[in-house]
Amino acid sequence: MTDDGRRHERLPDPEWRVLESEVEYDTGWFTGGYDLVEQPNGTTKRYYWAELATAVVVVAVADDHVVFVEQYRPNIRQTQLELPAGVVEKGESFTDAGLRELREETGFAADSASVIGDVWCSTGVLRHRRGFVFAEGLTPVERDLDDNEFLSVRAVPVEEAIERATEPPTNDATVEGVLLARDEGLL
């Protein structure tokens, strides 16, 4: 397992026998490789994967508004309205990471935070776990953006949050976070 200061999840013992596990590249941001697996019918196959550090997504509400960030995503060449999110540092809980990311990206400190979801993402190709945190009781503080974060904070009325979260272009983390919060009765 990579020790890069970020949280990575330990995988359980495999149900299918792994004959070989190879890392083919490591970019410092993600690791990629394959497991050579013996399938139930006795054949073998390489299952390719990319591992990303564990992440957190924050659904924060203040004054009947959901806090979003708007930022350009060079990978898809589009500007997106997203929920605040980021990597969980080694030893951090989802709530601690969520409070830190909210403060850094939006300039809001929260009085409380709770986990509303925890999922493995794109399991056909990724080894990536994502937690969703609900935060409230927001107080303005100083932002502390990373050197690659060029984002604007946007407040969206709660009653419009689902509509805005699903407008193209959107991403899975934003849609999932808003829907989880709605299903928990928080929006």
Q: Report the largest interatomic distance among the alpha carbons of the chain, rounded to a whole angstrom.
A: 59
Q: What is the pLDDT of residues 14-56, one digit of tens each?
A: 999 999 999 999 998 899 999 999 999 999 999 999 999 999 9
C-beta separation of 51 from 125 below 8 A: no
Strands (E) across 2-107 are located at 18-26, 30-38, 44-52, 55-62, 65-73, 78-82, 85-87
Residue 1, pLDDT > 80, answer: no
**What are the domain boundaries of the chain?**
55-184
Residue 6 is predicted with a pLDDT of 86
The whole-number average pLDDT for the span 88-110 is 97
The whole-number average pLDDT for the span 70-78 is 93
Residue reference for tokens 């990373």: 146
Residue 2 is predicted with a pLDDT of 56
CA atoms within 13 A on the CB side of 83: 32
CATH architecture of 55-184: Alpha-Beta Complex (3.90)
Contacts 24+ apart (CB under 8 A), 179-185: 180/59, 180/116, 180/117, 180/132, 181/59, 181/61, 181/116, 181/132, 181/134, 184/116, 184/134
